[in-house]
Structure 1
Amino acid sequence: MEMIDLPHGTVSYRAAGPEDAASPPVVFVHGFLVDGSLWSGVADLLAAKGVRSYAPDWPLGSHRVALPGAADQSPRGVARQILAFLEALDLTDVTLVGNDTGGALCQYVLDTDPSRVGRLVLTNCDAFDTFPPFPFNVIFRLLKGPRRLLFNLQPMKLRAFRHSVLGFGLLARKFDPAQSRSWIEPSLTDAGVRSDAARFLQAVDPSELNDVSTRLAGFRGPVRLVWGTADRAFKPALGRRLAAAFGDAEFVEVPEARTFVSLDAPQALADQIADIANATSSPKEPT
């Protein structure tokens, strides 16, 4: 793990692949209550193809270093944190890859400043006013507040609960128990991390993401949606609607995969990312 100090706080990240890669860099954006390890299998496969990737732990409840209390934890604020990461590492023509809540954050990035983004890959994720979908909209309401978050995470200490439909069970077919436990540990043990996570949930506004969707067609780079068709939360119909919002996005179905396509079908996702990585792009300048 490497660490970098940014204006909003410290970010840990995993880097994989050759530093002198000819392909544009890949930057991953995970969702709520998971960390950058979600992408490890895909990152290793990309590294074998000669692609350099970065998988930061964004401040969404599974990060290890709490942010200062003044950090903007709204979705727009986290998008600016992603942009600060790209700027700090001087990453340009980036292939931005998002999943779950991270897919919504990628949309905010494009709406805020797409100048460092060359192309976009989204797997199953929030879109329009589905932010988040059922049943996670109900679950997230139970977590809105540091005390509520701590109380409602207690059952997640049990592997059986953690991997059930009340935990992560809807999101993938199979989990590594040690990995899923590591996702909840920071919010269980660090009050600052719990505060970061709760402040993010309190700032989520489906109507704002719905407004962002009206401007997605302005992004000039290639867009590909790699969608698990077995997802019972982010259903394929939502993915096809999101693809249409970009105007010229490709929609690729991944049979049998659920929300975490990176866990259920890492080879299929890595192949799609590598394929689009060298596609011609023409990023927009900020307006």
Structure 2
Amino acid sequence: MTTSDLLGEVHEADLGSARIRYHDRGEGPPVVFVHGLLTNGLLWRKVAPTVAEAGFRCLTPDWPLGSHEIPAPGADLSPPGVAALIARFLEVLDLTDVTVVANDTGGALTQLLMTTSPERIGRVVLTPSDSFERFLPPIFAGLPVLARIPGGVWTVVQALRSQLLLKSTNFAWAVKHPVPRHILDAYLLPSRRNPEIREDLRRFMAGIDKRYTLTAAERLPAFEKPVLLTWAPEDRHFPLWLGQKLAGVLPNSELKTIDDSYTFVPEDQPELLSAMVVEFMRAHATT
């Protein structure tokens, strides 16, 4: 069994402006995972199988954020546009009472989804994520500007070729523990090898602006469904105060911490995260 097989059967969803590849494993109430920039569904490879075994249907799409394999030239890849793609995915698959589990940039997209298309959402789990004025973290704040410069994204992609750089910075301090080489390749090779994927990445990066997350934050108090915030106190990109600030505006939320992890909690602490997700979903199951 390959690493990808752990996530279940592979399917494609035609969303009109884009085709999205996703894995589907398990039966029961649906759980949809939302990864962030320059990762894909493999981010959840050690979480989704455990959640599926607990009695849930886990769907792990590869969203068009630079590590996907199906180009989306006709899609709106601004942050609101990708949030709309997530909403369309739920609609096309006719998923209701969905638990959305998100990380990093995917958390920002999920906040947009929560405030624009909450109808099919039953509950949300946010791991360390962009929010409020932090979209992107300070260390990456120049990426949207770079993406608007001819050749800028190519420069980023080439910089990520350096294994020494990736190892010495723990994937730009997103993970505390080493990520296997084949997983890093799955994240980084699509944009390096395919100019169409690189153009999708450029369009998304160029559209990133904190006004989107700030507007979502103003609207989040109206989202009254259960939200679990699982934050990593050691995370350099999204400090604990950011999770606490989210807890302060979400009326039906709880904040739990996960030690020995940076931003990519699904990579660093998958067992603990899986247990928290399952416990949360069972506690807030629709009767």
Q: Answer yes or no: is the 8 Å Cα contact 1:145–1:199 preserved in 2.
A: no
Change in CA separation of 1:7 and 1:146 when aligned onto 2, cut-off 3 Å? farther
Matching residue within 117, 121, 124 for 1:113: 117
Question: Secondary structure of 1:120's partner?
Answer: strand
Q: Answer yes or no: is the 8 Å Cα contact 2:124–2:226 preserved in 1.
A: yes
Q: Answer yes or no: is the 8 Å Cα contact 2:223–2:251 preserved in 1.
A: no
Paired residue for 1:170? 173
Matched, 1:90 2:94: yes
Matched, 1:10 2:14: no
Per-residue CA deviations over 1:35-86 (Å, capped at 9, x if unaligned) read 0100010011112212211110000001101112x31111111011001111
How many Å apart are 1:25 and its aligned residue? 0.9
Paired residue for 1:46? 51
How many Å apart are 1:136 and its aligned residue? 1.6
Distance 1:274 1:144 in 2: 41
Paired residue for 1:186? 190
Q: How does the TM-score come out when normalised to structure 2?
A: 0.91
CA RMSD in angstroms, aligned pairs only: 1.6
Distance 1:152 1:93 in 2: 38
Question: Secondary structure of 1:13's partner?
Answer: strand
The amino acid that maps onto 1:60 is: L
Question: Secondary structure of 1:215's partner?
Answer: helix
The amino acid that maps onto 2:35 is: H
What does 1:201-220 correspond to in 2, within 5 Å? 201-220=205-224
Question: Secondary structure of 1:172's partner?
Answer: coil
Change in CA separation of 1:111 and 1:179 when aligned onto 2, cut-off 3 Å? same
Number of residue pairs matched by the alignment: 276
Listed as ranges, the gaps of 5+ residues in structure 1 are 283-287
Per-residue CA deviations over 1:215-253 (Å, capped at 9, x if unaligned) read 111112100100111101111011110111112310000
Paired residue for 2:3? none
Q: Answer yes or no: is the 8 Å Cα contact 1:226–1:251 preserved in 2.
A: yes
My pick for the range that moved more, 247-256 or 26-35, is: 247-256
Q: Answer yes or no: is the 8 Å Cα contact 1:220–1:281 preserved in 2.
A: no
The amino acid that maps onto 1:191 is: P
Distance 2:150 2:280 in 1: 40
What does 1:13-92 correspond to in 2, within 5 Å? 13-17=22-26, 19=27, 21=28, 24-68=29-73, 70-92=74-96
Listed as ranges, the gaps of 5+ residues in structure 2 are 1-9
Q: Answer yes or no: is the 8 Å Cα contact 1:145–1:195 preserved in 2.
A: no
Change in CA separation of 1:143 and 1:180 when aligned onto 2, cut-off 3 Å? farther
Distance 1:146 1:42 in 2: 38
The amino acid that maps onto 2:281 is: A
Change in CA separation of 1:146 and 1:46 when aligned onto 2, cut-off 3 Å? farther
Change in CA separation of 1:38 and 1:184 when aligned onto 2, cut-off 3 Å? same
Change in CA separation of 1:49 and 1:193 when aligned onto 2, cut-off 3 Å? same
Paired residue for 2:130? 126
**Identity over aligned pairs, percent:** 38
